[in-house]
Structure 1
Amino acid sequence: MSWVVRAIVALPAIAALAGLLTRRQRALSAAVAVAASAVVTLLALVEWIIPARTADIGTLGRLPLGDLSVPLRLLSDRLSGLSAFVVAVVVLAIHVFTTWYLRDDPRYARFAATVSLFASGMLLVVQSGDLVLTLVGWEVMGWCSWLLIGHDSERHAARRAAYKAFLVTRVADIGMVVGIVSLSVRARSTDLMTVLSAPGNHTLLTIGLVGVVIGVAGKSGLVPFHDWLPDAMEGPTPASALIHAATMVAAGTYVIARLFPLYAEHDGARTLLAVLTAVTMVYAALLALAQTDLKRMLAYSTLSQVAIMLSALAAAPAELGPGAGVGHLIAHAFFKALLFLGAGWLSVLAGATAIVALRGRLRPTGALRWSMGIGLAALAGVPPLVGFFSKDTVIDAALEGATSGGGPRTWLVVVALFVTVVLTAAYCTRAWLLLDTPVAAAGASGQPQSQPAVVAEEEVAVVTSTDSADDAEVERVHAHGHPTITLSAALVVSVLAALTVVGVLFLLSLRGAVHVGILSTLLSVLLIAGAAYAVWSLSDRGRVDAAERIPAPVRDSAVRGFGADTAYVAFGRAVTATARLVVALDRDVVDAYPRAAAVVARAAGRAGERGHRAVPSLSVLSLLVGAVLVAILGVTAWR
């Protein structure tokens, strides 16, 4: 089993290198990426099916760091096996879909190699039994996300989004580094099992757990680090699916799940996590409801769903373990990858990602239509799809934590979860009605036309130039037309839809991942049905956009994220101004005294130099000659 675990981490990295070496041969680089992903998927399946709990799988050997033990070992158990398998399945699906989606992109090989390296980073986090290896995988994903988001680097918007993601997550990663260092110093080791069992020093434990929460908040897009994730839609759709589904934004859930025994005994860190997740899930769901672009709507839904995962770890009782949060991570991987790849397929058909341009485009698409329907239903939590079981397990875990003395933080999570259930059902219903209902031009009778209407070309041109998140796809479609999807890419979407239906079978192998309460389920289903009916009524049975009922100033502000980007820019300028002030103070105040002393000494030296003629006087010469004669006479007389 040891070689299997090592291969799961190493093969994608090797495939990334091989993809770069073969970048001039597109077919070969695609074959390398897909084949390596397929092999990793099979190996991860073996690790998951064959139970083997071991935390002593060596890699490069120990690092010599004095009293600090750094064994650099990998870990294999049921949780890592299932998580690695889900990650590998999603990465394989993305690789296959990308061969069609970036069919005309001359930089396809670089993109595929970056995806492979990204997968290696996530799999290292999943298989890591050492906090140093966890941090390495964590940072590899951050660097690769910058490359993937900025793939279309000729566009200013893509470059800006990439740098924004990089800077925001790097700022939050300061907390992650401080947290890992604190936990390691406390345990005198970076070994995960040693860290979990180490006693003592509550202060270092607090710093460590809070620091990890801050780092996770950055990567997972929790408020106030949330605004980079919607902007990341500037990257190609497969990159969005990779970042949002089972890798970067979900990595924080996995890390905290591994550290759950420590969090379960620390109310302060769990309270911070509960507040951040409660605010994020409601806030992001509200923003998703108002979006005018499909990819940005899915991005905000990711923020909300990741907050739901993490809320389970903030509210669940210690005896339940992290199963509820990890279960929703796995379910989210299936239906969110499905929705993003389906959105990519649909955007190719329409040449845009703006909802106005996509209006009614699902109706004639067959497999894509029912796949997107399944994905949106799973996101909304409709039974019996995997999203229903995972979401209601989180709700039940939070309720159990609240009723067993969890305190105000658990009740805050419970209330936020039920509010989010309503909002999620609302924006999923809105999206389905808009994508599946043709534009209805009312006639004299006031009845909608029976034939799907096509959005006017002028209107689509205006919309796609202002509202589309992935402008590069718009350009690709305008340049190359609307190509027919390949069988393999269509099959990928269908397989993900099937996994979304039967995904609960994957969750059954994890303790606590499926635990649905009767009362919470009934209330959840009623809330979903009520929200769906309300949106259906407000949209006049799908004939108009329900979001148009929101006052225009509020909706426009919501589409722009309520000015979060402006706040980021203001914060950046404040930091830059502060740095310049510090430099000025250091140069003109702190260094002024040493520089002044040097100037005074130099001026005095020059003044003395000017006052001296540089010619010896007669008296000085006479004195020197006399001194020499006296010395000679004295020596002679002494003899």
Structure 2
Amino acid sequence: MSAAAARLVVLVPAAAALVGLLVARRPRPRTPRAVATVGSLLTLLVALVELVAVHSAGPVQALHLLPSLQAGELRIPLQLQATDAPALVAVVVAVVGWAVQAFAGWYLRDDDRYGTFAATVSLFCAGMLLTVQSADLVLTLVGWEVMGWCSYLLIGHWSRKESARRAALKAFLVTRLADVGFVLGVVLLATDAGTTAYQEVLAGAPGTLSKVGIALLVVGVLGKSGMVPFHDWLPDAMEGPTPASALIHAATMVAAGTFVLAQLFDVLVASEGVRWLLAVSTAVTMVYAAVLAFGQGDLKRLLAYSTLSQVALMLSALAAAPRDEGPGAGVLHLYSHAFFKALLFLAIGWLSVTVGGTAATALRGSLRGHLVIRPAMFVGLLSLAGVPPLVGFVSKEHVLGAAEAGVSAGDGRAWLVLLAGIATVPLTAAYCMRAWLVLDDLATTDVTRHEADTATRPVRTAVTVLAVLSVVGGLVVLTPLLDLRGHIGWLVALLSVLLIVGAALAVRWVPLVDDPDPATRLVGDRRPLFDRGLGVDRLYVAAVATPVLALARLVVVLDRDVVDAYVRGAALTARWSGRGGQRVHDRERAASGLAWVVAGVVAVAVAGVALW
């Protein structure tokens, strides 16, 4: 049962994507909406069946999705797996996918390209589920690339806007650049092992090729996850529709790298330098992004920067956890982040429909009168801040507990991660409190009591389910589904709670004048600087984008004027020779030439007779 479910959990959303594309252009949106909804519900059902089967009948380490391939000495078995962690994460992806499809059916109800969007979401989920269920490096790469292609389409869905086209192209180029490392990493890992099967890649002691391969793989993960120095594309991705933002930022693409590295954790821990690279990048990202989140003028971008910080936290667990702790803490935070971040994005999207935008000024007091969004937003922000006993608290404290275990083992990387994580706690609490004060401004006139008329029952159901999971989802630590060998560091947990309370109270009592937004007083005229990434965006353009563009132009010149010169020279020679031959064989010239030939023959004949 688990083997069949593991295959179906990938094939069902892929089939929904195919059928969705076939009916995307129907004049009525009901058919594409029905296909998307039914496909997402079936995917969720199959994922739940797999989870129950794995838990009851035991895991299946390797099962074939397609016949094996043989490329010389390299064996490519194309295997899936049905084990505890993949089955659990598959359920999470399916839940978020269903919630996004339910929300998109209402949010994009008047969009003439809704059918294409829904089909792309289904394909996106299929790519993520293939990555999660994969036990083969090639299948992982296929799922990884499908997500990258779909993210380009989703971010640029409103392609009639120049800003959306630019954001999609930016995301595509940055992630493509990083994916070069991912592809080369897969090649080197497979070359060293002689196969692409995870079991055999992890079986022996990693050689030099595997260590270089995991380093390149980490570069690809940093790019796809939006870590420094590849972070610049992710906030701009907010140009896409809110359902796309919820999908990309919650349980799919930006978190996929965490699960891939968790699957290859035994290779990762054998490469000390690679773990230092991961620790430095994630430590810088989680603090930098949390600072930027506080000063954003748009609350959707605030959530985008919070995603950068939270993904950095889950990846940092893989950099800091000792070998015997395993990658469970990072996977747990991936699991919890999916629920509360999808909840927050959908709630912001719901509110934006009622007020016409996601800017902080537009959303001021917009929660007043909402009977569903208000408690949902409250739960989501508390979970993001890490307030006990919500799921965000449980997962964050396991990450900090894993880092604490690394510190006890004398690991310098763990110190870096632990200090960055503790510094991020009050910053996260501060921007969460700021968002709540803006959204729930008591001085704003209650103008949003018409929520029952603006959202359908599936939307309210999706938001409610995500809110409930954000409250009780932490109970997963009591099950054997995740390999959590460590424990919560209670000293760190107590410190975190004190920092949360302190930061929240400090922001709450910032003296304000006719404005509920603490960033108005604390950031002031520097808010545009925060919106531009504290100048790092400009530095990124100068240090990365401009040199890459210059290099691209140089490559074009070399290819066109040097490498291709011989080919073009031969073509020009042939062209000129052809034109010369054409001129020689021109009809008029041929007629005059014939006359000269005749005249010559006559002259020769006369001369011959005379001389004879």
Q: TM-score, normalised by structure 1?
A: 0.84
Cα distance change of structure 1 residues 130 and 590 upon mapping to structure 2, 3 Å threshold: closer
Equivalent residue runs for 1:522-601 within 5 Å: 522-540=494-512, 543-552=515-524, 554-570=526-542, 571-584=544-557
**8 Å contact kept, 2:330–2:399:** yes
Match of 1:445 in 2: none
Which of residues 298, 304, 308 in structure 2 aligns to 1:303? 308
**8 Å contact kept, 1:63–1:69:** yes
Which of residues 230, 242, 253 in structure 1 aligns to 2:247? 242
Cα distance in 1, alignment partners of residues 510 and 293 from structure 2: 17
Match of 2:199 in 1: 193
Which of residues 149, 152, 155 in structure 1 aligns to 2:155? 149
Cα distance change of structure 1 residues 513 and 502 upon mapping to structure 2, 3 Å threshold: farther
**8 Å contact kept, 2:211–2:267:** no
C-alpha displacement at 1:228, in angstroms? 0.8
Equivalent residue runs for 1:33-112 within 5 Å: 33-51=36-54, 52-112=58-118
2:35 corresponds to 1:32 = yes
Percent identity between the two aligned chains: 57
Equivalent residue runs for 1:402-413 within 5 Å: 402-406=407-411, 408-413=412-417
Cα distance change of structure 1 residues 364 and 578 upon mapping to structure 2, 3 Å threshold: same
Equivalent residue runs for 1:414-493 within 5 Å: 414-439=418-443, 452=445, 484-493=454-463
Partner SS for 2:150: helix
Cα distance in 2, alignment partners of residues 599 and 334 from structure 1: 63
2:5 corresponds to 1:7 = no
Equivalent residue runs for 1:294-333 within 5 Å: 294-333=299-338
Cα distance in 2, alignment partners of residues 288 and 513 from structure 1: 33
Cα distance in 2, alignment partners of residues 43 and 579 from structure 1: 46
Cα distance change of structure 1 residues 518 and 576 upon mapping to structure 2, 3 Å threshold: closer
Cα distance change of structure 1 residues 233 and 596 upon mapping to structure 2, 3 Å threshold: closer
Cα distance change of structure 1 residues 63 and 229 upon mapping to structure 2, 3 Å threshold: same
Match of 2:119 in 1: 113
Deviation by residue 1:200-227 (Cα, 9 ceiling, x = unmatched): 522x122111111111111110001111
C-alpha displacement at 1:278, in angstroms? 0.1
Which of residues 518, 521, 533 in structure 1 aligns to 2:493? 521
Partner SS for 1:561: coil
C-alpha displacement at 1:429, in angstroms? 0.5
**8 Å contact kept, 2:16–2:122:** yes
**8 Å contact kept, 2:325–2:486:** no
Cα distance in 2, alignment partners of residues 453 and 3 from structure 1: 52
Cα distance in 2, alignment partners of residues 136 and 598 from structure 1: 40
Cα distance in 2, alignment partners of residues 295 and 273 from structure 1: 27
C-alpha displacement at 1:598, in angstroms? 13
Partner SS for 1:56: strand
Equivalent residue runs for 1:330-349 within 5 Å: 330-349=335-354
What is the letter of the counterpart of residue 378 of structure 1? S
**8 Å contact kept, 1:390–1:514:** no
Deviation by residue 1:104-159 (Cα, 9 ceiling, x = unmatched): 11111111100000000000001000000000000000000011111111110111
Match of 1:500 in 2: 470
2:26 corresponds to 1:22 = no
Q: For the aligned residues, what is the CA RMSD?
A: 2.8
What is the letter of the counterpart of residue 502 of structure 2? G
What is the letter of the counterpart of residue 562 of structure 1? L
C-alpha displacement at 1:593, in angstroms? 10
2:95 corresponds to 1:125 = no
Match of 2:605 in 1: none
Which of residues 379, 384, 387 in structure 2 aligns to 1:374? 379
**8 Å contact kept, 1:508–1:514:** no
Cα distance change of structure 1 residues 195 and 596 upon mapping to structure 2, 3 Å threshold: closer
Cα distance in 2, alignment partners of residues 591 and 27 from structure 1: 53
Cα distance in 1, alignment partners of residues 346 and 478 from structure 2: 26
**8 Å contact kept, 2:29–2:109:** no
Cα distance change of structure 1 residues 454 and 109 upon mapping to structure 2, 3 Å threshold: closer
C-alpha displacement at 1:57, in angstroms? 1.0
Equivalent residue runs for 1:360-371 within 5 Å: 360-371=365-376
Deviation by residue 1:419-462 (Cα, 9 ceiling, x = unmatched): 000100000001001110144xxxxxxxxxxx63889xxxxxxx
**8 Å contact kept, 1:338–1:375:** yes
Match of 1:631 in 2: none
Partner SS for 2:65: coil
Partner SS for 2:202: helix
**8 Å contact kept, 1:371–1:494:** yes
Partner SS for 2:70: strand
What is the letter of the counterpart of residue 72 of structure 1? L
Cα distance change of structure 1 residues 591 and 219 upon mapping to structure 2, 3 Å threshold: closer
C-alpha displacement at 1:250, in angstroms? 0.6
Cα distance in 1, alignment partners of residues 156 and 112 from structure 2: 15
What is the letter of the counterpart of residue 195 of structure 2? S
C-alpha displacement at 1:588, in angstroms? 5.9
Match of 2:610 in 1: none
C-alpha displacement at 1:592, in angstroms? 8.3
Cα distance change of structure 1 residues 222 and 596 upon mapping to structure 2, 3 Å threshold: closer
2:198 corresponds to 1:224 = no
C-alpha displacement at 1:582, in angstroms? 4.5
C-alpha displacement at 1:99, in angstroms? 1.1
* Residue segments in structure 2 that go unaligned for 5+ positions in a row: 581-612
C-alpha displacement at 1:549, in angstroms? 2.9
**8 Å contact kept, 2:343–2:467:** yes
Cα distance change of structure 1 residues 377 and 72 upon mapping to structure 2, 3 Å threshold: same
Cα distance change of structure 1 residues 135 and 592 upon mapping to structure 2, 3 Å threshold: closer
Cα distance change of structure 1 residues 590 and 399 upon mapping to structure 2, 3 Å threshold: same
Deviation by residue 1:4-33 (Cα, 9 ceiling, x = unmatched): 111100010100111111220421221111
Cα distance in 1, alignment partners of residues 471 and 317 from structure 2: 23
What is the letter of the counterpart of residue 164 of structure 1? K
Cα distance in 2, alignment partners of residues 53 and 432 from structure 1: 43
C-alpha displacement at 1:68, in angstroms? 0.3
C-alpha displacement at 1:199, in angstroms? 3.2
**8 Å contact kept, 1:361–1:435:** yes
**8 Å contact kept, 1:390–1:513:** no
C-alpha displacement at 1:544, in angstroms? 3.4
Partner SS for 2:61: strand
C-alpha displacement at 1:540, in angstroms? 4.3
Equivalences, count = 571
Cα distance change of structure 1 residues 504 and 592 upon mapping to structure 2, 3 Å threshold: closer
Cα distance in 2, alignment partners of residues 153 and 482 from structure 1: 31
**8 Å contact kept, 1:335–1:497:** yes
What is the letter of the counterpart of residue 67 of structure 2? G
